[in-house]
Amino acid sequence: MDSVTDIGAQTGLLGVIGHPISHSLSPRLHNAAFRSQGLNLVYLAFDVLPKSLSAAIEGLRALRIQGANVTVPHKEAIVSLLDRLDPLAQRIGAVNTIVCEDGWLVGHNTDVEGFRAALHSVLPSGARGRRCLLAGAGGAARAVAAALVEEGAAAVWVYNRTRSRAEALCADAMSWGARTCEPLGAELLAEYGCSADIVINATSIGIDPDIEEMPFSVDILSSHQVVFDLVYGVVPTLLLREAAAKGAATIDGLEMLLMQAASSYRLWTGLNAPLAVMRHASGR
């Protein structure tokens, strides 16, 4: 399909559901990819409030859309609303991709692969044997923790505003085979944070309205670290600017967004995603 005038009765619908959603780059990435591969598909963004999530899922099912992405804050809440989960999404308890199979909505998680691929683009040896500080315990943090466990991280320390969610994530990560996974209180953050090799922000801090905030004090950052912020935007987040100023290697969320998008695209279309087209559409 070359333009909106080509949308017709045969056009398949995909989209992303989240709140807020106006900042999402996913429609640009996927529509550019569909056009470049001549697919009769269109991808939209849907602003869905938590109280409307169940109705939105019923809508997707009734309309038999081909697939969807799921983003903040719905990745965990959506799990119980789907018909089936693939084993990885089931284990993590978070879904970022839905595939509609013969009217059944099947949940997958491509954030795990997206995070791993983005990390390896800067740190080829990955997280194996590294000590990792992870801020956040929501849907994205669960995918990051799963990737760190699979990679063989020496330790994962989880710091989250709501401590009980960090405790729950750590208990799950231990059941997935983590060597060490512990929730951190604010009192231990400085001590553990300074010794972390990889520092990751998987909270919503850094997106509107918390644009000029960071999840940790700048004091824990140092030049030996890799600092990965899942948040992406037109300018680097405050966390990444401070990390770069300390001489740390930095990774922003765009590379992960591209990699998870490519995996979702493969699930929906059966085709390898045109990564160069997606990257160009992202503005990089």
Q: Which chain residues interact with ligand NDP by CB under 6 A?
A: 71-73, 75-76, 111, 114, 136-141, 160-162, 165, 202-205, 207, 210, 230-232, 253, 256-257, 260
Tell me what percent of the chain is helix, strand and coil, each rounded to the nearest 5.
45, 20, 40
Of 191 and 208, the one with the shorter C-beta distance to ligand NDP is 208
Q: In the bound complex, what is the minimum distance in angstroms from residue 4's beta carbon to ligand NDP?
A: 26
Of 113 and 151, the one with the shorter C-beta distance to ligand NDP is 113
Q: In the bound complex, what is the minimum distance in angstroms from residue 62's beta carbon to ligand NDP?
A: 25
Of 205 and 220, the one with the shorter C-beta distance to ligand NDP is 205
Compute CA 65 distance to the chain's CA centroid, rounded to the nearest angstrom.
Answer: 22
Q: How far apart are alpha carbons 41 and 213 in whole angstroms? A: 38
- Name the residue with the smallest CB distance to ligand NDP: 138
Q: In the bound complex, what is the minimum distance in angstroms from residue 154's beta carbon to ligand NDP?
A: 23
Contact 69, 110 (CB under 8 A): no
Find all residues with CB under 8 Å of 60, minimum gap 6, and list them. Answer: 68, 98, 100, 105
Tokens 């990089």 locate to 284
Of 12 and 252, the one with the shorter C-beta distance to ligand NDP is 252
| Catalytic-labelled residue, pool 75, 116, 131, 165 | 75
Q: How far apart are alpha carbons 199 and 222 in whole angstroms? A: 10
Is 246 a known active-site residue? no
Q: In the bound complex, what is the minimum distance in angstroms from residue 231's beta carbon to ligand NDP?
A: 5
Six token digits for residue 96:
């970022």
Q: How far apart are alpha carbons 26 and 15 in whole angstroms? A: 8
Contact 194, 221 (CB under 8 A): no
Q: How far apart are alpha carbons 27 and 19 in whole angstroms? A: 15
Q: Give the residue numbers annotated as catalytic, written as ranges.
A: 75
